[in-house]
Structure 1
Amino acid sequence: MKKYQKLILSLLFDALGYVSLIFPPFDFVWAPLSAYLMTKLYKGREGKIAAVISFIEEALPFLDVVPTFSLMWFYTYVIKSEKVVTKA
């Protein structure tokens, strides 16, 4: 999957997380689903850590405003990429 496709999906998944602000019971479905989607979208150790963070963020009330998927995309394609360029 291309990086900008992941960005679009990340934005979409973050928007889905906002549904629970209107309909709080949505968190019961979305918290585990968001963790699963995070592991599929972002592989490896970072993806697993992000999945745990995503689950906690979606399960706890009032933390739904944190754009976890978009932050993970930014980390993967901006911050982590800069570290690779700097080391080279």
Structure 2
Amino acid sequence: MAKEKDSKYRDLFLGLLFDGIGMLSFVIPGIGEFSDVIWAPLAGWLMTQLYKGKMGQVAGVVTFVEELVPGLDVVPSFTLMWLYTHVFSKGKK
């Protein structure tokens, strides 16, 4: 149980970190959009590594698109996936 709890909070920390990295493109005008081209596939892959199975794959595609489309970087997809996995779908397991 303790190991599962540690993993849960590690995933939250990583999700917050990755969402922060995704939002960094707003900080650097002009270069931000170019960085999204590099970050989008990496973010999609990271999502599939954090969350296995079909849900991880779907979240990876959503994250890829969200990071690639200009202006959607404000959506915290990693944090939303963590909330879905560890809070909202808790009773479904």
Normalized against structure 2, the TM-score is what? 0.86
1:14 to 15, 19, 26: 19
Write the distance in 2 (CA, Å) between the matches of 1:82 and 1:72.
16
Identity %: 50
Structure 1 runs of 4+ aligned residues shifted over 4 Å read none
Give TM-score, length-normalised by structure 1. 0.91
Q: Pick the structure with more helix per residue.
A: 2
Name the structure 1 match of 2:9.
4
1:24-57 CA distances to partner (integer Å, 9 max, x unpaired)?
2110110000000000000000000000000000
> Structure 1: where are the runs of 5+ without partners?
none
Runs of at least 5 residues in structure 2 that lack an aligned partner in the other structure: 1-5
Q: Distance in 2 between matches of 1:75 and 1:82?
A: 11
Taking only aligned residues, the RMSD between alpha carbons, in angstroms, comes to 1.1
Q: Which AA in structure 2 matches 1:13?
A: F
Count of aligned residue pairs for this structure pair: 84
